[in-house]
Amino acid sequence: MKIRRYIGTTTQEAMSKLRKELGSEAIILHTRKIKKSGFFGVLKKSLIEIVAAIDDDNNKNTTRTPKIHYTYNDISRNTSSTSSTSSTSSNIARDISSSPVKDATKDLPLDMNVRTTSESTMSRLSNNMKNNNTSNNEEINKEIKKLRGTMEGFMKSFESKLYKNFYLPEKLRYYKDVLLINGVNEVVVNSILGNIDKHVSLDNKSDEEIREIVKFNITGFLGNPSPIRYNGEQKIVFFIGPTGVGKTTTLAKLAAYYTLEKKLNIGLVTADTYRIAAVEQLKTYSDILDIPIKIIYEKKDFYEVLSNFKDKDLVFVDSAGRNHKDDFQMNEIKELLEIVKDKEIYIVLSATTDLEGIKEILKQYEFIDDFKLIFTKIDEAHSPGVILNTKFYTQKSLSYFTTGQNVPEDIEIANITKLSNELIGESKDERSS
């Protein structure tokens, strides 16, 4: 096996060197950003280092079949009814039938343990539902959780079997490597590039044309941003998320923007009484911006607050930064949301969190059907891929990105074009030149 190290000023440059020497069958082992010292120890611009390998004997068949495209909602949604389970199965069947490689599942044996367990679980669930009392309801909930776990395990196992022989044409393999380097999940990469391969002829297309096609598809996949828009009627806006993601600071940035720039009448509400620092922080911003703030300690306080703020254009509610694994705390948030009929909900996530962490957080908020996404700490994130991954698994709109602690400067409406450029390896310097 040959192992080589490549350095470039951009990901594209390093990848070009790799492709030129090792070809398209090389396997990327490691990527990182490095700083190179200049004169007197002064650091120059960051460089990209890629370590790759290739077998000396490269005559093996490397054709690969596509992985199932499924979304976060297909797996994590409550599976308490037979119709829900059937819907998930239909989605799998539909995605397999539309795959570029036909009959990929023909010779794949089902895991008999999974199938037997699922049938047994469904049978017990059906019997329990015939006797609808409190104890049986508890049993049903346990069975539902067990069935959900079984289905998730089956999906992961089934998906990995289909994933062995995924094939992409040469012209798209470069972008697969770049997207993987930038933190995009392989399922997401194959879904986007597989869609291009299925619907777009790349024959006689130049490298620049293919680059624009890939960028266009990523941009379309990310969708249009969905920020807060005031339409003349009062909006109650909830900011929800785990501790440590910068939720309170994000709320303050938006309050400052809509107060100073849009000249709207804003009211602040905080339910984050578990953290004294969060309350004091929001009070400070309230004093600086000269906007009122109300603190709610229990559910009934919120009714009074809404009455007092009936003249406000926008009411921003800072929910408690809860431990997303605490069911009791989650229930408090749920009760607060149920008070307001017409509301907008923004789930605040950190771009430094990996995909599995994001999915675990969002699974605890599955009682919220309609929400939008805010990503904080973009400036601290190693790669932007987690944003695309989260969009893929939730199918929810992106709204804002925050890039620092400064209020109100370090926030922007999600810049989809800029994000798409970064995902395919274009640096900020390249785009500004």
Q: List CB contacts of 94: < 8 A, sequence separation 6 or more.
A: none
Give the burial string for 368-381 (b: 16+ CB within 10 Å, else e): beebbbbbbbbeeb
Inter-CA distances, 217 with 101, 179, 194, 300, 379, Å: 21, 13, 11, 48, 25
**350: helix, coil or strand?**
strand
Rounded to an integer, what distance in angstroms lies between the CA atom of residue 24 and that of residue 196?
A: 19
Residue 298 CB-density burial (10 A; 0-12 exposed, 13-18 middle, 19+ buried): exposed
Inter-CA distances, 6 with 38, 62, 182, 423, Å: 19, 23, 16, 20
Cα dihedral 345→349→351→352 (10° resolution): 180
Pairing of strands 372-376, 398-402: parallel
Greatest CA separation found in the chain? 79
Place of tokens 């009062």: 234
Q: How confident is the prediction along the chain (433 residues), in pLDDT tens digits per residue? A: 677 888 888 887 888 888 888 886 777 766 777 766 554 444 556 788 888 877 766 544 444 434 333 333 343 334 344 344 444 434 433 443 333 333 333 333 333 333 334 444 444 544 555 555 555 666 666 666 666 665 655 554 444 444 434 678 888 999 999 999 999 999 999 999 999 998 998 888 999 999 999 999 999 999 999 999 999 999 999 999 988 898 989 999 999 999 999 999 999 998 865 565 667 878 888 889 999 999 888 888 899 999 999 999 999 998 876 554 556 667 788 888 999 988 999 999 999 999 999 999 998 888 898 999 999 999 998 889 999 999 999 999 999 999 988 888 899 999 999 999 999 987 654 433 3
Any idea where the domains of the chain sit in the sequence?
Answer: 1-62, 72-165, 168-223, 235-414
- Within 163-206, residue ranges assigned H as helices are 170-181, 186-199
Cα dihedral 89→90→92→97 (10° resolution): 140
pLDDT at 15: 82
∠ Cα 216 217 219 (to 5°)? 65
pLDDT at 14: 83
Handedness of CA 306, 309, 313, 316 (dihedral sign): negative
Handedness of CA 283, 225, 343, 309 (dihedral sign): positive
- Written out in words, the top-level CATH class of the domain with range 235-414 is alpha beta
Element (H, E) at 401: strand 398-402
pLDDT at 6: 85
Element (H, E) at 141: helix 134-162
Place of tokens 């603190």: 295
Question: What would the DSSP string read from start to end of 42-95?
Answer: -B---EEEEEEEE-S---S----PPPP---HHHHHS---SHHHHHHHHHHHHHH
